[in-house]
Amino acid sequence: MTRQAARGGPRTRRARTAAALGRATRIPAVRRNPEKPSSRYPADVLAGDWRRPRKGIVKEVPAEQGLVAESGDEGFCGAVVACDKQTVTLEDRNGRRRVFDLAPAAFLIDGVPVTLVRPTAAARPAALRSASGSVAVRDLRSQVAKESRIYVEGVHDAELVERIWGHDLRVEGVVVEYLEGIDHLPEIVAEFGPGPGRHLGVLVDHLVKGSKESRIAAEVTSPHVLVAGHPFVDVWAAVKPSAVGIPAWPEVPRGIPWKEGVLERLGWREEPPDAWRRILGSVRTFADLEPELLGRVEELIDFVTAADSSGG
C-alpha cells in the first residue's frame, strides 16, 4: 500500500469533506475554453444597439410633413415628405429623396435617437393644407371672378398652375387663361385694358436675358401689368426630376423640338400629351416643383389680388 493510499488519497479526502458539509459528493471541475480567454469585460464593448440611450428609452416621434430628421445609419438628412405603415420618405435641400424603413431608433433629431412612427389622425394638424402649402378653406363657396387675371403661355402651364394653386385661386376669385404663346403679348395686354383694380399677371416660359421672350416682355410697360417668368425652356422642366422618377431632364440640342427630344432621350415611347399626363400625375404638392417657378407664380397671385383689395 502506498503512502497516499494509507493516508487516504485526494478522492477520499474530497468526498469526506463534501459529505461533512452536506453537499453532493461530486464537484464538477471548471473547464476553460482556450478559444475564449477569461475576461472581466465583454469581448466587444461596442456590441449591441449603440444608438439606444443608456436608460433604454427611445422617444417615438410622429413623422409629420416637414419634420427634419437624419438617418442614423447613412447620415442622410431631410424633411419628411411622405409616410406610410412601413416607410418614411425624406427629401434633402437639393431635392433628393430617400425611402427608409420605420425601424426602432433608426433616426436622429437634433442628434438624439428617435423612432419615427406613422402619424395618427389625432396627431395630424387640424388645419388642412392646399397643394401650395397654404391653409385650405373648408366648404369653399363659388366666388365671383375678379377683373384681374393671370395669363400663362399654354395648356400645360395652366394645368400645372391649377394643380398646385387651384384652391388658392378659387378662394381669391382669380381666373387663369392661356395665351398659346406670347409673340403678340403687347396687343393682348392692350386688348385686356389693365388699370386700377384691373391688374394682369403674365407667366412666361424661358424668360432669361437676351431671349426672344425677354425682348417681348420688355415692350410691356404698364404699371398694372406684371410679367414674370421662369428660366426653363418648357414648363415640363419646372417639375423636379425626382418627382418624375428620372435623374435629370435631358439636354436637347437647338433645332430639335424640346418635348420630342426629351422623350427620345428618356426612352419614353409615347406622345407628348401622354407624357404630360404622366408628368402632371407625379405632381402632388409645391415640393414637387422647382423654386424658380414657385416664386414667380406666388408673385403673380400677390400682384393681382393686391390690386383688387387696394384698388390700385
Q: Is residue 17 part of a domain?
A: no
In whole angstroms, how far apart are CA 35 and each of 32, 38, 48? 9, 10, 22
pLDDT band of 14, cuts 50, 70, 90:
very low
pLDDT of residue 17: 42
Question: pTM for the whole thing?
Answer: 0.57
- Rounded to an integer, what distance in angstroms lies between the CA atom of residue 278 and that of residue 272? 10
**Are 79 and 200 within one domain?**
no
> Which residue segment(s) compose the domain that 81 sits in?
59-117
Which phi and psi angles does 34 have, rounded to 5°? -60, -25
What CATH code is carried by the domain that includes residue 106? 2.30.30.60
Q: Is the alpha carbon torsion for 40, 46, 49, 55 positive or negative?
A: positive
Q: Does 112 lie in the same domain as 153?
A: no
Confidence at residue 229, expressed as pLDDT on a 0 to 100 scale: 93
Q: How far is 269 from 237, CA to CA, in rounded Å?
A: 19
Same-domain pairing of 303 and 172: yes
Query: Do residues 236 and 296 share a domain?
Result: yes
**Same domain? 203 vs 78:** no
Which residue has better confidence, 144 or 67? 67
Mean of pLDDT values over 126-143: 64
- Domain-located, residue 204: yes
Asked if 147 and 195 touch (Cβ cutoff 8 Å), the reply is: no
Question: Is 139 in contact with 172 (CB distance < 8 Å)?
Answer: no
**Is residue 71 domain-shared with residue 218, that is, in the same domain?**
no
pLDDT(193) > 80: yes
**Do 302 and 172 have their domain in common?**
yes
Where does the pLDDT of residue 12 fall: very low under 50, low under 70, confident under 90, or very high at 90 and above?
A: very low
Regarding whether 298 and 178 lie in a shared domain, the answer is: yes
First-to-final CA distance of the chain: 128
Q: How many domains does the chain have?
A: 2
Give the range among 131-145, 164-178, 187-201, 238-252 with minimum mean pLDDT. Answer: 131-145
Distance CA 190, CA 176 (A): 18
Beta-carbon count within 10 A of 121 CB:
5
User: In Å, what is the CA distance from 51 to each residue of 45, 54, 106?
Assistant: 14, 9, 8
Residue recorded with cell 378662394? 171
Q: Are residues 172 and 94 in the same domain?
A: no
111 and 153 co-located in one domain: no
Q: Give domain status of residue 209, yes or no.
A: yes
On whether residue 47 sits in a domain, the answer given is no
With 50 as the cut, is the pLDDT of residue 22 above it?
no
Segment among 10-24, 153-167, 187-201 with least mean pLDDT: 10-24
Asked whether residue 235 is assigned to any structural domain, the reply reads yes
Q: Is residue 247 part of a domain?
A: yes
Asked if 157 and 77 sit in the same domain, the reply is: no
Residues 211, 70 share a domain: no
Q: Are 168 and 132 in contact (CB under 8 A)?
A: yes
In the sheet with 112-117, reading across from the earlier edge strand, the strands are 59-62, 112-117, 107-109, 68-71, 77-83, 87-91, 97-101
Q: Does a structural domain hold residue 65?
A: yes
Q: Is 69 domain-assigned?
A: yes
Angle at 271 between CA 266 and CA 277, to 5 degrees: 85
- Cα separation, 232 vs 89, in Å, equals 27
pLDDT score for 95: 79
